[in-house]
Structure 1
Amino acid sequence: MTISADHTAHREYLRHLDSYLSDSKQTLDAWDVYSDEHTDLDGWPHDDHAYGLRASQRDADTHTAFEPLRTNARLLLGTAETQLAHLPANTVQSRWVYQLGVLHAALERLEGLQEQWTTTLDTLPANARPGSPVFDNALAEHHAESWSYLDDWATHGQALREINSAALKAPSRLAPPPTTAPVTGRAAPVRK
């Protein structure tokens, strides 16, 4: 298991996580508004093509928001697992183990999909560039396949922040617990 040993870098990775959580929430909120306004009461789109284009934009925006986090997501997970293992039992939320499992599984799938995307790029015709239908359709498909795993990160990623906060508040095993010492400088009470 790889963990982030550099505290400054770890704080930066957590900032990337915070940005992703915020950006993905905005994207999903905007999607929910669009979907509510452009579907009938049964959830069927009024215009399939326009709805599909908007869903594709949601997928692309979510993917773009995740990119700064993707590189160090495994380090964040490893650090959270290590922190969780050292937390006092009374400070641990039972859902955290489940959420870390979901995040691990989603990251595995995202890494696999990224490898597939690299292979797909190698198989595209030489003239397939961004803006060409062949490239754009392949990219839209990649984003669509990735979206549910990115949504898992948006849904459960807060657990990484929560575990880190709990670890920062937990008593250190390296420092002794605080003791109460008599306050000096005050006159002792007079006994009669």
Structure 2
Amino acid sequence: MSASSTPPSSGDNQLPQATDPLAWRRHLPALATAAAGINEACDAWDAVSDSLCDADSWPLDDKVYGDGKVKRDAEAWKHAEVFLDHGPEVLAGVRAAADGADYVEGPISDDLRRIRGIDTILIRAEELRHEWNQVMALMDGSQPSVLHLYQERAEEHRNTEGWHYSHELGYKGQALVRVGEYLAHRADTERLAQTERARVALTRSTHNTTAASPASPSVTPASHPPTLGHSR
């Protein structure tokens, strides 16, 4: 008895979907929010930090001053992690979409210069996050009270070490978002223009083909036979 063949699944006959070269732009809103969050945390601290120090810039109360920095660093790092999750894809997309002229002059040339080095910042910040994850993995299985204590200290250390990266991402991240939005809009405009040119060309080709076609021969109506006269 011949073996029964398994009917192909519906997905077997589906054509592979084309990859959207602008798929990275879906992350731009998240990066814009993250950059704004980092800068808000920085501005909030700057607004009160001077009042917490004496004329020589020494903290009036070390604990109050330290707690303020801890809060700033934690808030900034929370937003910096958004860049670690989505920034590399956006950065790769931006570099693929930008051409040489964009770096020399034009509306995004300054921002393209601002984002130089952002890939290094992302790498270093990701290394810091990886180190923290390793520390937490080593603490797995500890008593809850001990785990909570070490986790809190490890988070504070990570956030403090990551403040420099967070601060840089707040500045460079805004430039990356502006560049991404410009390049995505330009690509959309070029795509629409290309589609319109193709439509016009197709319309012209169809019109020319119709005009060049030979006219169909007219059908001569059948002549009626002569009417026979009535005999008298």
Per-residue deviation, residues 73-123 of structure 1 (Å, max 9, x unmatched): 100111111122265553254444443332111101111101111121133
Answer whether contact 1:24 1:154 (CA < 8 A) is retained: yes
Instruction: Select the residue among 110, 119, 144 that pairs with 1:104.
Output: 119
- Do residues 163 (structure 1) and 195 (structure 2) align? no
The equivalent of 2:131 in structure 1 is: 116
Note if contact 2:91-2:176 (Cα within 8 Å) is conserved in structure 1.
yes
Q: TM-score, normalised by structure 2?
A: 0.64
Is 2:87 the counterpart of 1:82? no
Q: In structure 1, give the amino acid aligned to 2:56.
A: D
Q: Helix, strand or coil: the match of 1:63?
A: helix
C-alpha separation in 2, matches of 1:114 and 1:59: 14
Cα gap change, 1:75/1:130 in structure 2, threshold over 3 Å: closer, same or farther? farther
| Residues 1:172 and 2:186 are matched in the alignment | no
If you compute each CA radius of gyration, which structure gives the higher value, 1 or 2? 2
Paired residues for 1:12-161 under 5 Å: 12-85=26-99, 88=102, 89-91=104-106, 93-124=108-139, 126-127=142-143, 132-161=148-177
Q: Is contact 1:31-1:55 (8 Å) kept?
A: yes
CA RMSD of aligned residues (A): 3.0
Tell me the residue number matched to 1:189. none
Match of 2:212 in 1: none
Change (3 A) 1:102 1:96: same
Q: Any runs of at least 4 consecutive aligned residues in structure 1 with deviations exceeding 4 A, and if so which?
A: 86-89, 128-131
Give ranges in structure 1 of 5+ residues lacking alignment: 179-192
Matched length: 174
The Cα of 1:134 is off from its aligned counterpart by 2.2
What residue ranges of structure 2 are gaps of 5+ in the alignment? 1-18, 198-232
- Aligned-pair identity in percent equals 23
Q: How many Å apart are 1:163 and its aligned residue?
A: 1.6
CA offset digits 1:33-85 (Å, max 9, x no partner): 12021112232211112211111111111111233342111001111111222
